[in-house]
Amino acid sequence: VFESLLVDNDRLAERNRGFFRAKRLLAVNLVSSPGAGKTALLEKTLERLQADPDHRAAVIVGDLETAQDAARIRKAGAPAVQITTGAVCHLDAEMVAGGMEQLDLDTVKILFIENVGNLVCPTAFDLGEDLRVVLLSTTEGEDKPLKYAPMFRTADLVLLSKSDLASAVDFDRETALAHIRQCAPKADILETSAKTGQGLEEWISYLKNRVQDI
Where on the chain is the footprint of Mg ion (CB under 5 A)? 38-39, 69
Closest separation between CB of residue 163 and ligand GTP, Å?
Answer: 7
Strand partners, 81: 60
Taking CB under 6 A as the rule, does residue 194 contact ligand GTP?
yes
Written as one letter, the residue type at 63 is D
Choose, by CB under 6 A, the member of 9, 16, 32, 82 that binds ligand GTP.
Answer: 32
Calculate the alpha carbon distances from 61 to 44, 146, 199 in Å: 16, 27, 23
Binding to ligand GTP by CB under 6 A, coded x per residue (else -) over 91-110, reads --------------------
Is there a contact between 58 and 111 (Cβ–Cβ < 8 Å)? yes
Taking CB under 6 A as the rule, does residue 38 contact ligand GTP?
yes
Taking CB under 6 A as the rule, does residue 35 contact ligand GTP?
yes
Please name the residues in contact with 50: beta carbons below 8 A apart, sequence gap of 6 or more: 56, 57, 76, 77, 78
Closest separation between CB of residue 7 and Mg ion, Å?
Answer: 29
Please name the residues in contact with 98: beta carbons below 8 A apart, sequence gap of 6 or more: 83
Taking CB under 6 A as the rule, does residue 90 contact ligand GTP?
no
Closest separation between CB of residue 11 and ligand GTP, Å?
Answer: 28
Q: Which C-beta is closer to ligand GTP: that of 44 or that of 109?
A: 44
Please name the residues in contact with 162: beta carbons below 8 A apart, sequence gap of 6 or more: 36, 37, 137, 138, 139, 193, 194, 195
Instruction: List interacting residues with ligand GTP (CB under 6 A).
Output: 32, 34-40, 69, 117, 161-162, 164-165, 193-195
